[in-house]
Amino acid sequence: MPGPEIKEDVKRHYAAIATKPRINASSCSCGCGPTCGPDDYQVADDYSKLPGYVPDADLGLGCGIPVDIAGIRTGDTVLDLGSGAGNDVFVARHLVGKEGRVIGVDMTEAMIRKAEANKHKLGYVNVEFRLGEIEDLPVGGSSVDVVLSNCVLNLVPDKVRAFAEIFRVLKPGGHFSISDIVLVGALPQAIAADVEMYAGCVSGAIQKEEYLSIIRKAGFTEVEIMRQRSAPLPDEILASYAASDQADDFSIWSITVVGTKPVNA
């Protein structure tokens, strides 16, 4: 498991993304951010047609669209983990309506400031952003109907603790919808050990079956991958790590998985 210093590297990486102008948010992945170019690792999906979409909140950092299959209802309380500038939060707000509430949690202060600026510009009163870490959420137990997260849990060193916290904050019968990056096969060591590839959502990812096992062991039922697609590294990135000849030994996947906290939990 990566040491605690990796979190500081990740914070610096995403603080830089929060404070720099983006080149093309619709094509950037969770790793390339404001310096995204044609040779970068690009797995983000297009949010622009979703009701509630706020362009200023879209930094192109996701690897799916978990909010659109999350079964969010009017009046729900929704929690978004790794909320960034508020992209999924503002779409979720449209779904919960004025009767509901949406909370975003992020560990990067610059992201919280950017999200708060977007919120105040829009004048929303049923949205809030909290500084905190996913392994120790600043949210009460059994208080949330739906948990969202988009390409963030791969950045969390202790994924067992992360899913335990998701289970804790969900109401009995509540559920999550999470998009993330997972692996099949072993990454080349040069990639696995690289800090930039960790912050870029690659080397912090774990094996797909291990990921699903952690979710089930946390107590969730009805665990199902709703969407998955291959997210291969570009040849240019592989070549920079002298890993081109190992490309067939592993594959990277973007998945969107759902699960439910039992009503008797």
> Which is more confident, 34 or 249?
249
- Percent above pLDDT 70 for the chain: 90
Per-residue pLDDT reduced to its tens digit, 96-145: 999 999 999 999 999 999 999 999 999 999 999 999 999 999 999 999 99
pTM for the predicted model, two decimal places:
0.93
pLDDT band at 33 (very low <50, low <70, confident <90, very high): very low
Q: Where are the domains of the chain?
A: 5-260
40 pLDDT band, cuts 50/70/90, is low
* Separation CA 92–CA 77 (nearest Å): 10
* Domain range 5-260, its CATH number among 3.40.309.10, 3.40.50.300, 3.40.50.150, 3.40.50.1580: 3.40.50.150
Question: Who has greater pLDDT, 223 or 16?
Answer: 223
CA-based nearest residue to 181, from 223, 231, 135: 231
Instruction: State residue 26's pLDDT score.
Output: 38
Q: What distance in Å separates the CA atoms of residue 114 and residue 225, rounded to the nearest whole number?
A: 31
Show the CA angle centred on residue 111, arms to residues 106 and 117, nearest 5°.
120
